[in-house]
Chains A and B, each alone.
Chain A
Amino acid sequence: KNEVEQSPQNLTAQEGEFITINCSYSVGISALHWLQQHPGGGIVSLFMLSSGKKKHGRLIATINIQEKHSSLHITASHPRDSAVYICAVHQNTGNQFYFGTGTSLTVIP
């Protein structure tokens, strides 16, 4: 049983395209995180959400608590956005941390 499901698993886009990555979860959460992992392993925390919407540069993250769904949008995608994007949730009971399997994004010039 996967507490966090991400789609799509793989995504190839042309530079400049608008990209959406989806995350659905099945547990009650206190926070949802979007992480970015480049080849070599380093992980960067992009957003932490508990409600609503956040924007940072060309990245936008939204969450719908009632529907247990979050989306990560990238506007005007660029080859440097190529990475694996991981959705993670912090469960509000038991304090467990669950991860999606990641979405591998490749942006072609």
Chain B
Amino acid sequence: KAGVTQTPRYLIKTRGQQVTLSCSPISGHRSVSWYQQTPGQGLQFLFEYFSETQRNKGNFPGRFSGRQFSNSRSEMNVSTLELGDSALYLCASSPTGPLYGYTFGSGTRLTVV
């Protein structure tokens, strides 16, 4: 069965712009979570969506937002990009949440210049 698909794989944006990243979960998975990975901070949890509702949220500013559609596909948006937003953004899907394990996508590498 198809894995978790993230698009695009690579992205270069200018400071001040906004960006939208997409994540298509494994068919039947209703939980989608997003993570940021940087060399300095490592992996950090952004938020989790389940059945179109944000269920959990990490400690990130309001510039980071997301949503989930009825088909469980999820998008993450970052507005007013800063240089420090350059990172690998990963999403993961799960049938219902953490007690069932996660499958990760390959990530979107965002570079802000």
* Partner-B contacts on A (CB < 8 A): 30-31, 33, 35, 41-45, 48, 50, 86, 88, 90, 94-102
Contact = CB atoms under 8 A, between A and B. Distances in A.
B76 interface: no
A83 to B, nearest CB: 13
Contacts of A31: 98-99
Contacts of A90: 98
B104 A99 contact: no
B96 interface: no
B interface secondary structure, majority:
strand
Contacts of A97: 33, 35, 45, 48, 56, 58, 98
Contacts of A86: 42-43
B16 interface: no
B106 A41 contact: yes
Interface string B24-61: 00000000010101000011110010000001101000
5 contacts: A42-B104, A43-B107, A45-B102, A48-B100, A97-B35
The CB with the most chain B CB atoms within 10 A, among A41, A42, A95, A100, is that of: A41
Contact of B44 (A33, A35, A99): A99
Interface in B67-112: 88, 90, 92, 98-104, 106-107, 109
